[in-house]
Amino acid sequence: MALGQITLLTETGAVGLADADVRGHDLWLAAAALNVATGFELKPEGLCRDDLCFPLPQGREHEFTRDGRVNVAAFWRYRGGAVTHSQAGDIWVLGEPSDEQATRIESLEAPDFTLPDASGRMHSLSDYRGRKVLLATWASW
By beta-carbon proximity to other proteins, the closer residue of 14 and 18 is 14
Q: For residues 67 and 45, is the Cβ–Cβ distance under 8 A?
A: no
By beta-carbon proximity to other proteins, the closer residue of 48 and 91 is 91
Q: Which residues does 131 contact at the CB level (< 8 Å), separation at least 6?
A: none
Q: How far is the CB of 11 from other proteins (least distance, A)?
A: 8
Q: What is the chain's length?
A: 141
- Which backbone phi and psi does 67 adopt, to 5 degrees? 50, 40
* List of residues contacting other proteins (CB under 8 A): 7, 9, 11, 14, 80-87, 91, 93-96, 98, 101-102, 105-113, 115-118, 123, 125-126, 128-141
By beta-carbon proximity to other proteins, the closer residue of 62 and 131 is 131
Q: How far apart are CA 49 and CA 38, in angstroms?
A: 9
Q: How far is the CB of 9 from other proteins (least distance, A)?
A: 6
Q: CA-CA distances (angstroms) from residue 40 to 47, 51, 52, 130?
A: 6, 11, 9, 32
Q: How far is the CB of 70 from other proteins (least distance, A)?
A: 19
By beta-carbon proximity to other proteins, the closer residue of 45 and 112 is 112
Q: How far is the CB of 40 from other proteins (least distance, A)?
A: 18
